[in-house]
Amino acid sequence: MTGLEILEELLLGQRVDHRHPHAWDLLNGDNKVVAVLCDRKQHVSIAPCPAPAEPRDARKIVEPYGERVAWKVGADNIEAGVTQVRALTSRY
């Protein structure tokens, strides 16, 4: 399973801003960015933002919100990743 296929599973029903070819900003109900998801060859990295933030310019690729990778979701832990994504969007 590729990172892009995993990403599709994680983001089902979620709102995102596709800021970069390999970076999706996960949005909460107020259209604030709560995490950045990046697809890799065989996993997806989830980097929560320290606080909800306004979407940033697409030109800044690396850590535009001060986020740091907290989870790596592979084919073996997609359900845990889905739980994390849902928790992030409902936390704020």
Let me know: does 89 contact 26? Beta carbons within 8 Å: yes
Report the alpha-carbon distance of residue 8 to residue 61 in Å, rounded.
21
pLDDT of residue 61: 65
Let me know: does 56 contact 20? Beta carbons within 8 Å: no
For residue 63, pLDDT over 80 is answered with no
Report the alpha-carbon distance of residue 47 to residue 44 in Å, rounded.
10
Give per-residue pLDDT as tens, 27-54: 999 999 999 999 999 999 999 999 999 9
What strands lie across the sheet with 23-27, from one edge to the other?
15-20, 23-27, 33-39, 43-53, 71-74
